[in-house]
Chain A
Amino acid sequence: QVVESGGGLVQPGGSLRLSCAGSGFPFGRYAMSWFRQAPGKGLEWVGLIRSEDYGGTIDYAASVTGRFTISRDDSKSIATLQMNRLETDDTAVYYCAKGAGGTYRGFSWFDPWGQGALVTVSS
């Protein structure tokens, strides 16, 4: 399973860090991805970090590039989403999920998903 933590209320321009703890699987062998869902809206992909077998490289959605940073600590089975320069449009429930392998390919899915962490950006 995966469990997110670290959500909360933050002012526009502020920062917040979310953590995603994995258990029950060899964390270091899998890509981990972050998603978000704004109130009443659909799912949006935020970013993905590949396993070290695939260089630990990271991709981001255009909407968060330059503001959000994804990292991983395989020794602790934790993935982290550092969010800076937050905007009101970043208000959403943020989910992390385990990839189907060490990277993302044309056949890849995400499972399981965490319970989500609510991030509210408001003054």
Chain B
Amino acid sequence: QPTLTQPPSVSGAPGQMVTISCTGRYSTAGYDIHWYQQFPGTAPKLLIYGNNNRPSGVPDRFSGSRSGTSASLAISGLQAEDEADYYCQSYDNSLSGHVVFGGGTKLTV
């Protein structure tokens, strides 16, 4: 089981807002959460870093938040091209190497 828990799927209509949750455990508490977007057959792309920061080029429709051992990715003004898989990533101080991912969430628009 992934250290970070995400819902397997979410859906929303164009123009609506959806949120994707990412829940960790005590060993991930206090560490930053990052989000990646992946389209079928392509590499993951950094979407949000440091809980709520957008790399250059990422629309402000995408936003992140963090509270305790949980985090959320919000996507407002849904567009058809947002349909993709979304993964959260963080640091787990109980594991060698420390890199952990959520299981991924499939967004259907």
Contacts and interface: CB of A to CB of B under 8 A. Distances in A.
Interface of A: 33, 42-45, 47-48, 59-62, 95, 100, 104-116
A83 B36 CA distance: 26
Nearest to B32: A107
Report the 3 A-B pairs with minimum CB-CB distance, sorted nearest first.
A59-B97, A111-B46, A106-B31
A99 to B, nearest CB: 10
Contact of A42 (B98, B99, B101): B101
Residue from A100, A106, A116 whose CB has the most chain B CB atoms within 10 Å: A106
A26 B45 CA distance: 20
A111 B99 contact: no
Given A95-B43, A95-B44, A111-B55, A45 B31 contact: no
B30 interface: yes
B100 A45 contact: yes
